[in-house]
Amino acid sequence: MRLFLLAVFFSCSCVRGGCEPKIVNIGAVLSQKRYEQVFKDAVTQANQIYGREKFKLTAISVTHKPNAIQMALSVCEDLISSQVYAILVSHPPQSNDHLTPTPVSYTAGFYRIPVVGLTTRMSIYSDKSIHLSFLRTVPPYSHQAHVWFDMMREFHWNHIILIVSDDHEGRAAQKRLETLLEERETKAEKVLQFNQETNLTALLLEAKELEARVIILSASEEDAASVYKAAGFLNMTGSGYVWLVGEREMSGKALSAAPDGLIGLQLINGKNESAHINDAVAVVAQSIQELFEKENITEPPRGCVGNTNIWKTGPLFKRVLMSSKYPEGLTGRVEFNDDGDRKYAHYSILNYQRAKLIQVGIYNGTQVVLNKQRKIIWPGGQTETPRGFQMSTRLKIVTIHQEPFVYVKPTMLDGTCKEEFTPNGVLIKKVICTGPNETIPGRPIVPQCCYGFCIDLLIKLAMTMNFTYEVHLVADGKFGTQERVNNSNKKEWNGMMGELLGGLADMIVAPLTINNERAQYIEFSKPFKYQGLTILVKKEIPRSTLDSFMQPFQSTLWLLVGLSVHVVAVMLYLLDRFSPFGRFKVNSEEEEEDALTLSSAMWFSWGVLLNSGIGEGAPRSFSARILGMVWAGFAMIIVASYTANLAAFLVLDRPEERITGINDPRLRNPSDKFIYATVKQSSVDIYFRRQVELSTMYRHMEKHNYESAAEAIQAVRDNKLHAFIWDSAVLEFEASQKCDLVTTGELFFRSGFGIGMRKDSPWKQNVSLAILSSHENGFMEDLDKTWVRYQECDSRSNAPATLTFENMAGVFMLVAGGIAAGIFLIFIEIAYKRHKDARKKQMQLAFAAVNVWRKNLQDNKEPSGSQVVGAAATPSLPSSSVETQDDRKSGRAEADPKKKASFRSISTSLASSIKRRRASKDTQYPPTDITGQLNLSDPSVSTVV
């Protein structure tokens, strides 16, 4: 209830006496005293329009002081102490460093009090890291680049040379213009910076050698005057040239040295301080009205002494000011960009004719509008618009080492190239090309010899289009792709693309793939070679082993064949053994033949299988011969099948392709077991990065990509890389030259190689026409046959396949094994035979000894019998003789010891005699008779006995 009564009382008091509006002070630092009244009048007018009941603007102004310290003290004591909401500051009449608005910007910016510049155009005030609260009703000098850019578009000038002073103003203008050119997908042919120590004559001579004839100059008055004098000395201000400059470059000292035909700019109302004061006050008043509609508005700081607190509402007020729009200003439409600079500024386009500046058009903030009633007089007094370029007949060509399109070889000691010939006997045309030598540490730039497909094409184009050239190799060895600069969002081209766009080259003559990314920045000729992408892998050359002749059959089949041989041999033996017709006589006088033995059956079975011919040991019975014929048929089928498969394995063997193409599962589902890659930052890399369905493959390839195609190809040969994806023309050539490589799969991403030029190149149409003509007259076909289709490995593969020693080494080893086995067995046979003969001779000697002993017994028996008949003459027989006879009768008589000794002596004598004969070289044995017994009638035997 009390709150309600207070509100009623307050409203009634406002009705009776009226609510006093809030006093809002606005400060100003003006160039002269006479503008103080203009400022007060502008504030009074703003009070009539804005915030009549909520606030009232009050003007507090000072003029520029002689030095920066006094200026800063004046801002603190006269303006900030009065709690100003904003400060307007004009540029001093003279552009002296100590009279710039910098002290005002620094002092007010410390407390976050907005500062509105009136006539200050230096680009340094756009840097918000230095001038925190600064904004202005005029654009900086660097914004003149928008007018230059629109004039280029108006007159269709694509070749420009930008000459800027090496200071903040020049760099700002350069950056602004380059940003606009990038949006147009073009670039200045050359940017030349200079300072006080630069030789301007040498600088302009460099510009004179370029094709561009449109020169844009950004410099101070003094520097611009020096440039004009040097250009006039070099005849660069005459017919065919265009000079575009800004406001500084055509005022004061610069204007006195400016050449006729100069095109310059002048900001409309740029120096009208009164108009800018009115527009600035209106914008501030409009912004304060919008600010007071917000809540929590704090008071500005009061003074600088002992006060280090910033104005909390200051940043908010600055944002309100920058977002404000004042369309009906005296200087035109007033708006600010993100840097606080004036947008949509209006410029007069002036032409310097006969020492006078004539307005020939305007820039209305968005486009150039020329006054058709006033003709522009160009340098040299011409009235026709210059083309803006001069076709240079000396072109800088950039290329890259990529066989067979460009070969790079070192020069000879005298600096010339060695004469070489193609396989067809044609002399190879070579040119000197400068570039980094990869074989020397540090990669120094040295002259080298270049030749190949693209060099022959360049020579042909030069003859057709009547130009000369100098060739150099790309410095970084790359084709060209966009990469981020210092991890920022800005991207720049590297490789040959970067050199072309940077003005280091006029033309790219190399196997440069035509794609959308590159075509947005450069102009491609018609393709001189159509191709696609393919995959290079290493051939799976089968390694012949010693058992390669056994490959036609599996081991199981070999075992079954071997088992069948022995089973059939046993069956033949049994059938012939038990058959009643297994043995027979040829005629009645001959003895009956023996049946087939087991060893003969084995020999027959193996002989039929190996087709070695059967001499003896054939089966005799009808049943065994039936089985033999069946076995012969089996052997014929087995041998024929083996021969056919042996030819397939050894003669017609071709390695299978490891992968089927781009859709092979090993490519689509990558793993570390199968590594594939391409070249970093190449068109192939761009292709895989752009295709969403190939993103998995790209992530795998990104980790393994190589710096160059040559390195990747060598990695495939060294088994470090399983597959390499690259241009089909290059890979097919490599596969034809290196027989351990092969391309696989169908082509994909079909494209072509083209010659690259800048968008504004005057040669682009003529080059395309020359290439089309070369296709029609067969010149391209000849180049293709000479450099690309010269294939060694394919001719070898088309020749009839022949067996090598590696294929049949196992067979030779089998023969060698058979020989070794035969030699081993013959020694066993000889040893066995000698052992058997020795046993036999021992038995013969034993039988001979026994026979001798028996004969001696018989000889001894006959005298004994005569003594029995004459018993009367002999008194008695020894007891031993009687016992012997009795024992012989009973079969139990023991031998006489003397006889035993006689037998042993004979045996010992025979054995020792035989040993002596063996030890001697005489190998004759004691003579034997036909029954194998010793021939005792031989003197040698009887002597031994």
pLDDT tens profile 812-844: 666 577 667 767 777 887 888 888 888 888 888
Compare 203 and 604 and report the one with higher pLDDT. 203
Contact 121, 246 (CB under 8 A): no
Q: Is the pLDDT of residue 400 over 70?
A: yes
Compare 474 and 819 and report the one with higher pLDDT. 474
Of the candidate ranges 368-372, 572-576, 691-695, the one whose mean pLDDT is the lowest: 572-576
Would you place residue 281 in the very low, low, confident or very high pLDDT band (cuts 50, 70, 90)? Answer: very high
Of the candidate ranges 92-101, 215-224, 636-645, 711-720, the one whose mean pLDDT is the lowest: 92-101
How high is the pLDDT of residue 245? 94
Q: Is the pLDDT of residue 801 over 80?
A: no
How high is the pLDDT of residue 884? 41
The backbone torsions φ and ψ at residue 908, rounded to the nearest 5 degrees and listed phi first, read -65, -40
Cα–Cα distance measured from residue 547 to residue 553, given in angstroms and rounded to the nearest whole number: 11
- Other CB atoms within 10 Å distance of the CB of residue 568: 23
Q: Kind of pairing, strands 445-451 and 368-370? A: unpaired
The backbone torsions φ and ψ at residue 391, rounded to the nearest 5 degrees and listed phi first, read -70, 110
- For 505-532, what is the mean pLDDT? 89
DSSP SS3 for 381: helix
- For 852-877, what is the mean pLDDT? 60
Cα–Cα distance measured from residue 883 to residue 345, given in angstroms and rounded to the nearest whole number: 167
Cα angle, residue 830 at apex, residues 824 and 834 outer, rounded to 5°:
150
Q: Which residues of 571-596 are buried (b: 16+ CB within 10 A; e: fewer)?
A: bbbebbbebeebeeeeeeeeeeeebb
- For 660-679, what is the mean pLDDT? 85
Report the candidate in 115, 41, 124 with the shortest Cα–Cα distance to residue 75: 115
- For 378-384, what is the mean pLDDT? 90
Would you place residue 892 in the very low, low, confident or very high pLDDT band (cuts 50, 70, 90)? Answer: very low
Report the candidate in 668, 681, 679 with the shortest Cα–Cα distance to residue 716: 679
How high is the pLDDT of residue 445? 86
Digit-coded pLDDT (tens) for 131-177: 989 999 999 999 999 999 999 999 988 888 999 998 888 899 999 99
Q: Is the pLDDT of residue 873 over 50?
A: no
Digit-coded pLDDT (tens) for 223-235: 999 999 999 999 9
- For 323-347, what is the mean pLDDT? 90
The backbone torsions φ and ψ at residue 214, rounded to the nearest 5 degrees and listed phi first, read -100, 115
Compare 798 and 83 and report the one with higher pLDDT. 83
Report the candidate in 1, 400, 356, 341 with the shortest Cα–Cα distance to residue 176: 341
Digit-coded pLDDT (tens) for 907-927: 565 556 555 555 544 444 444
Continuous segment of H or E residues that includes residue 536: strand 529-538
How high is the pLDDT of residue 808? 57
Identity of the residue numbered 857: L
Would you place residue 936 in the very low, low, confident or very high pLDDT band (cuts 50, 70, 90)? Answer: very low
Q: Is the pLDDT of residue 215 over 90?
A: yes
Q: Is 649 exposed, middle or buried (0-12, 13-18, 19+ CB in 10 A)?
A: middle
Would you place residue 548 in the very low, low, confident or very high pLDDT band (cuts 50, 70, 90)? Answer: low
Residues 6 or more apart from 310 whose CB is under 8 A from it?
110, 111, 112, 301
- Other CB atoms within 10 Å distance of the CB of residue 103: 23
Q: Is the pLDDT of residue 685 over 50?
A: yes
Prior bond of 92 cis (ω within 30°): no
Would you place residue 731 in the very low, low, confident or very high pLDDT band (cuts 50, 70, 90)? Answer: confident
Of the candidate ranges 93-102, 212-221, 257-266, 863-872, the one whose mean pLDDT is the lowest: 863-872
C-beta pairs of 766-772 under 8 Å, 24+ apart in sequence: 766/465, 767/461, 767/465, 767/507, 767/525, 768/525, 768/526, 770/460, 770/461, 770/464, 770/465, 771/461, 771/525, 771/526, 771/527, 771/528, 772/526
Of the candidate ranges 170-184, 600-614, 782-796, the one whose mean pLDDT is the lowest: 782-796
Would you place residue 399 in the very low, low, confident or very high pLDDT band (cuts 50, 70, 90)? Answer: very high
Cα angle, residue 652 at apex, residues 655 and 789 outer, rounded to 5°:
65
- For 467-483, what is the mean pLDDT? 89
Continuous segment of H or E residues that includes residue 320: helix 314-323
Q: Is the pLDDT of residue 4 over 50?
A: no
Tokens of 149: 């850019």
If DSSP states are collapsed to H, E and C, what string results for 474-521?
CCCCCCCCEEECCCCCCEEECHHHHHHHCCCCCEEEEEEECCHHHHCC
Q: Is the pLDDT of residue 929 over 50?
A: no
Q: Is the pLDDT of residue 203 over 80?
A: yes
Report the candidate in 574, 625, 544 with the shortest Cα–Cα distance to residue 805: 544
Residues 6 or more apart from 651 whose CB is under 8 A from it?
801, 802, 803
- For 789-814, what is the mean pLDDT? 57
Cα–Cα distance measured from residue 714 to residue 403, given in angstroms and rounded to the nearest whole number: 13
Report the candidate in 692, 181, 753 with the shortest Cα–Cα distance to residue 518: 753
Tell me the CA distances in angstroms from 671 to 462, 659, 665, 720, 873, one per residue in order. 49, 14, 10, 14, 125
If DSSP states are collapsed to H, E and C, what string results for 904-937?
HHHHHHHHHHHHHHHHCCCCCCCCECCCCCECCC
- For 502-509, what is the mean pLDDT? 89
Q: Is the pLDDT of residue 659 over 60?
A: yes
For helices 764-776 and 453-465, the axis angle rounded to 10 degrees is 110
- pTM of the model as a whole: 0.57
Would you place residue 858 in the very low, low, confident or very high pLDDT band (cuts 50, 70, 90)? Answer: confident
- Other CB atoms within 10 Å distance of the CB of residue 303: 14
Dihedral sign, Cα of residue 501, residue 507, residue 512, residue 517: positive
- For 623-630, what is the mean pLDDT? 77
Of the candidate ranges 381-390, 523-532, 876-885, the one whose mean pLDDT is the lowest: 876-885
Q: Is the pLDDT of residue 25 over 70?
A: yes
C-beta pairs of 784-789 under 8 Å, 24+ apart in sequence: 784/453, 784/529, 786/422, 786/424, 786/426, 786/453, 786/456, 787/404, 787/405, 787/452, 787/453, 787/456, 787/733, 788/404, 788/453, 788/529, 788/729, 788/732, 788/733
Tell me the CA distances in angstroms from 268 to 273, 365, 373, 421, 516, one per residue in order. 12, 11, 20, 70, 43
DSSP SS3 for 109: helix
- For 635-649, what is the mean pLDDT? 77
How high is the pLDDT of residue 459? 93
- For 465-487, what is the mean pLDDT? 86
How high is the pLDDT of residue 745? 81
Cα–Cα distance measured from residue 894 to residue 516, given in angstroms and rounded to the nearest whole number: 127
How high is the pLDDT of residue 8? 39
Contact 774, 447 (CB under 8 A): no
Mean pLDDT of the chain: 80
How high is the pLDDT of residue 641? 80
Q: Where are the alpha helices (DSSP H) in 787-804?
A: 793-798
How high is the pLDDT of residue 837? 87
